[in-house]
Amino acid sequence: MLGAPGAGKGTQAQRIAEACGIPHISTGDIFRANIKAGTELGKKAKEYMDRGALVPDEVTIGMLLDRIHEKDCEKGYILDGFPRTIPQAENLTKALAEEGTRVDAAIDIEVPDENIVKRMGGRRACPKCGATYHVQFNPPKKEGICDVCGSSLVVREDDRPETVKKRLSVYHEQTEPLIAYYRKAGVLKTVDGTKDMDQVFEDIQALL
């Protein structure tokens, strides 16, 4: 799954996974599972994370390959949040090729930056119970108040316009080049992410 932060990758990946009966694999989940299980790769990843450093690609790909060898991946899987850079994509291509397999499709959810800033700026979260809302797409029954526990809603640091713009500039610099990489590989599929969520899902299903 490709697309800027806030484009809806995670939501769509989850829906495709459910519709196709295949696992939705996010690197965050893999890290947590390996650290919890105390695997060798998990211990290595934890050392880097504890220092606030990025986990090296070879450790991440090692965990990923272990994960896709599990039984639930026999019919396929969806990668969300990896690869994020060209070197990661090249390493993944090489590792998969050695196993006689490859990425079948790279789905890019296209959303202009201004839409993302507006979309993420409208998010509201409950600091007490964790429920999330959106002022336009999923508003609480009473403005500024959580439906679940009645606490006052807040704008998370991650959703503030200045933070979103910073995250977008990192995306354009590091991750956007993957679009050209997978286009050259002949596996890129592009959908318009500004449409209604259900329509985006239908468009992705049609492409697959």
- Residue 200: inside a domain: yes
pLDDT, residue 27, reads 84
pLDDT, residue 129, reads 94
Concerning whether 102 is annotated as a catalytic residue, the answer is no
Concerning whether 84 is annotated as a catalytic residue, the answer is yes
Whether the Cβ atoms of residue 187 and residue 140 lie closer than 8 Å to each other? no
Q: Output the domain CATH number for residue 136.
A: 3.40.50.300
Q: 33: buried, middle or exposed (CB in 10 Å: 19+, 13-18, 0-12)?
A: middle
| DSSP letters for 115-168 | HHHHHHHTEEE-TTT--EEETTTB--SBTTB-TTT-PBPB--GGGSHHHHHHHH
pLDDT, residue 110, reads 96
Cα→Cα distances 167→12, 83, 120, 151, 171, Å: 20, 16, 12, 28, 6
Number of domains in the chain: 1
Concerning whether 167 is annotated as a catalytic residue, the answer is yes
Give the confidence band of 182 by pLDDT, cuts at 50, 70, 90: very high
Q: What percent of the chain has pLDDT over 90?
A: 72
- Residue 111: inside a domain: yes
pLDDT, residue 54, reads 79
Give the confidence band of 10 by pLDDT, cuts at 50, 70, 90: confident
- Residue 58: inside a domain: no
- Residue 93: inside a domain: yes
- Residue 64: inside a domain: no
| pLDDT per residue as tens digits for the range 109-127 | 999 999 999 888 899 999 9
| pLDDT per residue as tens digits for the range 47-90 | 988 887 778 888 999 999 999 999 999 999 999 989 989 999 99
**Other C-beta atoms lying within 10 Å of the C-beta of residue 11:** 14
Q: Catalytic residue among 15, 44, 119, 123, which?
A: 123
Concerning whether 15 is annotated as a catalytic residue, the answer is no
Nearest to 31 by CA among 43, 18, 16, 17: 43
